[in-house]
Structure 1
Amino acid sequence: MRNHNDEKSALEEAAISIFINIYNFNRQDDLKVVEKQECPDYILKNIKGGFIGVEVTHLFYDSEEAKMLLGRSDKEFHALESSTHYIKTLNELLKQKEKKIDKYDVVYPVALLVRNASPVYGMSDFLKYKNEIYKPEKYSHIWFVSKDGNNNEWLLKDLLTD
């Protein structure tokens, strides 16, 4: 079994890699990781030399789904899932992360990167409820990375913009 910190670090590394690839492709930028740290998780530098901190988190429907997806559960099936419950879970996560940003001692903007881990709910499911998603404005961006339906490609949306 993997050490919790190793697993967390691997998940964060995968999420930041997915994000950087999509971001750079869509914006003809060249974001690069400058430093991996604790608060925020990553410091990135853009093509113009500007810095941005990125706090990385993962969204699971609940702790049982997380255990199943991370190989820590013997269950083969998860209970029925409700999209409204999943939006509520996302909002709770965003409020929790909003409290964390006040502890950062940084001079550059900080963004939140949320990677949707659900094999059931994709980007279009979240966009249907976009107006119900909490928007912590202390972050410069709330980047949401998710797959969608049978499309196996990752998609990126800033939840703070329309």
Structure 2
Amino acid sequence: MVHGYQEKRDLERTAVKIFIQIYNQNHDKKLRLLYQRERPDAVLQDSYHRKMGVEITHLFYDSEEAKMLLGRSKERVHSLEVIEMLIEELNKRIQTKEIKIDKYSTTYPIALIIRNASRAFGMSDILRAKELIYKPQGKFTHIWFISRDGTDEWLMKDLHEL
């Protein structure tokens, strides 16, 4: 269990670092990681010393792809993938995090970071299927979706803007 917890923390820290790098390249108000915790997953601080909490989740096509990417599967080939199934998983992630945030008591706003870890689909695939994406209920200030798109470069889009 400790190994799984540390792996989760490492994945979250990587997602936050990617997010901060992209955010800071595109905004005057710079962010930095203050600390990681459980509720929310991390707390950031902007250049005006204002705090922002972030919940972090990773999007995989399905559990088998997650096992393959995390080195826990002996499978080499994954089944045929369709974007609708990835969007369905994305929608579940958003809804689950919305339920989770209701239990938090913080004095600062909270955003959601979704890191697309699936190798099957990239940012352009998600944007082409934007009409299938669940419309968030306004519980998060932003829902930042970070993904690659056929290259090693990470891209970011606020799903509230779709």
**TM-score normalised by structure 1 residue count:** 0.95
| Aligned counterparts, 1:8-157, within 5 A | 8-136=8-136, 137-149=138-150, 151-157=151-157
For the aligned residue pairs, the C-alpha RMSD in angstroms reads: 1.1
Q: Deviations over 1:38-74 (max 9, x none)?
A: 0001111111221110001000010000000000000
Contact 1:94–1:135 (Cα < 8 Å) also in 2: no
For the residues of structure 2 that align with 1:28 and 1:148, how far apart are their CA atoms? 25
Unaligned 5+ segments in structure 2 are none
For the residues of structure 2 that align with 1:135 and 1:112, how far apart are their CA atoms? 14
SS in 1 for 2:152: strand
For the residues of structure 2 that align with 1:51 and 1:147, how far apart are their CA atoms? 28
Identity %: 51
For the residues of structure 1 that align with 2:25 and 2:131, how far apart are their CA atoms? 27
**Runs of 4 or more above 2 Å deviation:** none
For the residues of structure 2 that align with 1:109 and 1:132, how far apart are their CA atoms? 27
Unaligned 5+ segments in structure 1 are none
Q: How many pairs are equivalent?
A: 160
For the residues of structure 2 that align with 1:54 and 1:112, how far apart are their CA atoms? 5
